[in-house]
Amino acid sequence: MTINLIKYGLTTAVQADLTKENGQILGRIIGQHRDWYQVITTAGERSAQVTGKLAYEAASPAAFPAVGDWVCLSSSADNQAQIEAIAPRQSVLARGAVNRQDGQIIATNINTIFICMSLNADFNVRRLERYLTIAWDSGALPVIVLTKADLCTDLATKLRAVADVSVGVPTITCSVETGQGLDELQPYLTTGQTVAFVGSSGVGKSTLINRLCQDILATKSIRTDDDKGRHTTTSRQLIPLPTGACVIDTPGMRELQIFMGDLNQTFAEIAALATQCKFNDCTHTSEPGCAVRAAVEVGTVTSERLQSYQKLQREMSYQGLNSRQLEQAKIQRMFGGKQAMKRVKQRYHRD
């Protein structure tokens, strides 16, 4: 059996970037489990572990392979495949800061991120802002995929709410029930492309992926298990599509934490207004001459939007702080200023 790795997203750029040593073979991580990886190679699927050297030298979770990585494999004496090296990553989608211990890579080497959100119960633009922020930071292109259009009765209102927080991001409205909008996904699903599906649990990511597979599989009259999409996804996996692209299915994340990400891109209008605030370091809370609060007052920016921005900004400002510094930053925010901080500390010391 020979597998054509082009179906798994191999490009000449990847090949040029990778330095394989004698005897090593090329593979792509298609599944990640507790302590082993599923890797696809021209000779088929292999289960593999990282070498002791790679694990020993790893300074953070980012040093370990993730789904989407191109890797160099070797075989040990007992024919167990070993991951010796990871090729430079073209893009990294992550929650948390990947150079820290609590960071987590969701997928790598992706061209497009389908941020999936359903048009019924799950609809929440505040959550969309979070996903957009980590997507902008990944190096891949975000696309908003609004699912379950068949269950939506106020589409125009919801589309306006999405447009308000996602200037310039392509938005596709679709339904697996009616087939609406599915063809609009196709331009992102051509040969050599890797697309990651992210979004809350139950929005229909796996159902959509199954449908994208089945459309062609059906012409080959292969039946697949109809129920497959109804099961919640438990691990990330990379799947080649009949269109030539490959997709990464991910489990819905309950609470999407961000410590990094380009807020100024997600909140472009607030960033632009902030340049007109009287103070450079204006927090848009109580400073005089604040252009952002002025905009909230006249209604060009909603107060929910400003609150969401400030909340994410606070999360991000904690990035890179250790737990003690984090506590201090919180106390500082609660009590304000250095003097207050001093008083709080003195009180603690006395006790």
Ligand X SMILES: Nc1nc2c(ncn2[C@@H]2O[C@H](COP(=O)(O)OP(=O)(O)OP(=O)(O)O)[C@@H](O)[C@H]2O)c(=O)[nH]1
Binding site for ligand X (CB under 6 A): 147-148, 150-151, 175-177, 201-207, 229-230, 232-233, 251-252
Q: Which does 207 bind (CB under 5 to 8 A by kind): Zn ion, Mg ion, ligand X, none?
A: ligand X
Q: Which does 89 bind (CB under 5 to 8 A by kind): Zn ion, Mg ion, ligand X, none?
A: none
Q: Which does 202 bind (CB under 5 to 8 A by kind): Zn ion, ligand X, Mg ion, none?
A: ligand X
- Contact characters 201-230, Mg ion, x per CB under 5 A: ----xx------------------------
- Based on CB atoms, which residue is closest to ligand X, 181 or 242? 181
Given the structure tokens 């609406």, which residue do they identify? 180
Residue type, 331: I
Helix axes of 125-136 and 303-317: crossing angle, nearest 10 degrees: 40
- Based on CB atoms, which residue is closest to Zn ion, 283 or 332? 283
CA distances to 3, 104, 181, 197, 209 from 185, rounded to whole Å, are 26, 27, 7, 12, 11
- Based on CB atoms, which residue is closest to Zn ion, 183 or 304? 304
- Based on CB atoms, which residue is closest to Mg ion, 189 or 208? 208
What's the min distance (Å) between Cβ of 204 and Mg ion? 8
- Based on CB atoms, which residue is closest to Zn ion, 127 or 284? 284
Q: Are 103 and 97 in contact (CB under 8 A)?
A: yes
Residue type, 271: A
Q: Does 284 bind Zn ion (CB under 5 A)?
A: yes
What's the min distance (Å) between Cβ of 250 and Mg ion? 8
Count the Cβ atoms, other than its own, within 10 Å of residue 300: 10
Q: For 3, phi and psi rounded to 5 degrees?
A: -95, 135
Separation of alpha carbons 265 and 283, rounded Å: 17
- Based on CB atoms, which residue is closest to ligand X, 132 or 146? 146
Q: Which does 164 bind (CB under 5 to 8 A by kind): Mg ion, ligand X, Zn ion, none?
A: none
Q: Does 292 bind Zn ion (CB under 5 A)?
A: yes
What's the min distance (Å) between Cβ of 87 and ligand X? 28
> H-helix or E-strand containing 81?
strand 81-86
Q: Does 277 bind Zn ion (CB under 5 A)?
A: yes
- Interface with Zn ion (CB under 5 A), residue total 5
CA distances to 149, 184, 202, 310 from 227, rounded to whole Å, are 21, 25, 14, 42
Residue 142 CA neighbour count, 13 Å, CB half: 26
Q: For 121, phi and psi rounded to 5 degrees?
A: -60, -35
Separation of alpha carbons 30 and 45, rounded Å: 9
Q: Does 233 bind Mg ion (CB under 5 A)?
A: yes
- Based on CB atoms, which residue is closest to ligand X, 46 or 95? 95
What's the min distance (Å) between Cβ of 194 and Mg ion? 18
Separation of alpha carbons 176 and 172, rounded Å: 13
Q: Are 259 and 96 in contact (CB under 8 A)?
A: yes
Q: Does 290 bind Zn ion (CB under 5 A)?
A: yes
Q: Which positions touch Mg ion (CB under 5 A)?
A: 205-206, 233
Residues making contact with Zn ion (CB under 5 A): 277, 282, 284, 290, 292
